[in-house]
Amino acid sequence: MANKFYQWQKFRSRFGLWESEEISVTVDKNPNLGYEKRKWWYFLMLIWTWILTIWVVLKKKTLGPNLKIHNFWFDGISPVCREVKENATTWKALDIIYNYIPGKDKSFSGQVTDFWSQLNNIKALRNRLKLVKHTLRGIIENLSTKELEIRLLSIASGSAQGVIEIMAEFKQKGIPIRAIFLDLNSAAIEHSKKLAQKAEVIDQITFINKGVNVLEEAVKNFNPHIVEIVGFLEYRPEEKAIKLAEKIYQLLLPDGVLLISNISNSLEHLFLHYVANWPMIYRSPKKLTELLIKGGFNSKNIKIIYEPLKIHEIAICQKPF
């Protein structure tokens, strides 16, 4: 029989009958995490991005939308920027951004890449990785005092770099985590297998090369304590995002935690859309919270945390007993 509280919560949220409460939104400024901050000269860079965006929009209108090179000073001269643009919205672009080391390439094209790596959205992505790992570490530490085995489900897992690194940390502490990585992209699955093999946690992971449409069937009887979704909600329209939240609520064990991210709007969003080929669905913390409430979570059990640039937010949602 369906949980009566859940059905009542779902009814109230769908029809906007939940209580209007203050949303818990904080900005993480932990100095030990090495967050990247905004530079004093950023406004000059922003003006340059707007100029390039206008140029690319006019170019696309004149020559068509499918340009091989958008702009000489972006993907024309920098092979790294070109690769990010060509793989935008995928795990591959994120993998490049997460692991890019500024200053390593001393050539002119390397310096151009270094310049674009200072975009707030690029720095915010690396900040998000640090914040997610830090938050996940805290959730697991808390659960490890209550559970003999911790089960984690990563949806649209991509390369799963952050999750794998945390799993390796806890294995060293004698706290193995059993995980399922679910992703529709077979290349992402293969890459995460290599990372897991290198981190010596591959025996703790089940890899499923399927989409979220078969979520319940794919993870049947797994009963996760933690569900992690990072970098996926940005591409899910509201109704699909709500249905995903509903599925996760049902899958989670009581006292389980959903860790999910979304992106807020920024002054760079037109550049990302037209120059970097990276369109996304932007949501404020309030919109993200409303979506999660409509999925069945209680507003009292939702906490939103921004990384320092206030571009990427993560929501920590606990399912009550």
DSSP string, 212-259: GGGHHHHTTT---SEEEE-S-GGGS-HHHHHHHHHHHHHHSPTT-EEE
Residue 4: the pLDDT is 52
pLDDT at residue 321, rounded to an integer? 81
pLDDT (0 to 100) of residue 2: 45
Residues 6 or more apart from 258 whose CB is under 8 A from it? 226, 227, 229, 245, 248, 249, 252, 292, 297, 315, 316, 317, 318, 319
CA-based radius of gyration for the chain: 20
At 179-211, the pLDDT tens digits run 999 999 999 999 999 999 999 999 999 999 999
| pLDDT tens-digit readout, 261-295 | 999 999 999 999 999 999 999 999 999 999 999 99
Residue 24: pLDDT band (50, 70, 90) is confident
Q: Is 154 helix (H, G, I), strand (E, B) or coil?
A: strand
| Arithmetic mean of pLDDT, 5-9 | 53
CA dist., res. 181 & res. 158, Å (int) = 8
> Is 4-31+125-267+280-318 in CATH node 3.40.50.150?
yes
Q: How does DSSP classify residue 320?
A: P
Kindly tell me if the per-residue pLDDT of 68 is higher than 60: yes
Output the six-digit token pair for 142: 């808390």
pLDDT value at 82 more than 70: yes
The answer to whether the beta carbons of residues 220 and 147 sit under 8 Å apart is: no
**Per-residue tokens: 301:** 């059990």
Q: What is the mean pLDDT of residues 98-120?
A: 96
pLDDT > 80? residue 304: yes
Contacts of 70 (CB under 8 A, 6+ apart): 56, 59, 76, 85, 274, 275, 277
Whole-structure pTM over 0.95, yes or no? no
Q: In the prediction, which pLDDT does 146 show?
A: 87
Q: Which amino acid is at 265?
A: N
Mean pLDDT of 92-117: 96
Dihedral, CA of residue 206, residue 201, residue 312 and residue 245, to nearest 10: 30
Q: What is the mean pLDDT of residues 61-83?
A: 96
- Of 59, 96, 54, nearest to 79 by C-alpha is 96
| pLDDT for the residue 17 | 47
Between 321 and 42, whose confidence is greater?
Answer: 42
Q: CA distances (Å), 107 to each of 76, 104, 114, in order? A: 15, 9, 10
**Residue 182: helix, strand or coil by DSSP?**
strand
Strand partners, 304: 25, 315
Compare 263 and 10 and report the one with higher pLDDT. 263
Please report, for the chain, the start and end positions of each structural domain, with discontinuous segments joined by +. 4-31+125-267+280-318, 38-122
**Are residues 156 and 212 in contact, defined by beta-carbon separation less than 8 angstroms?**
yes
DSSP state of 315: E
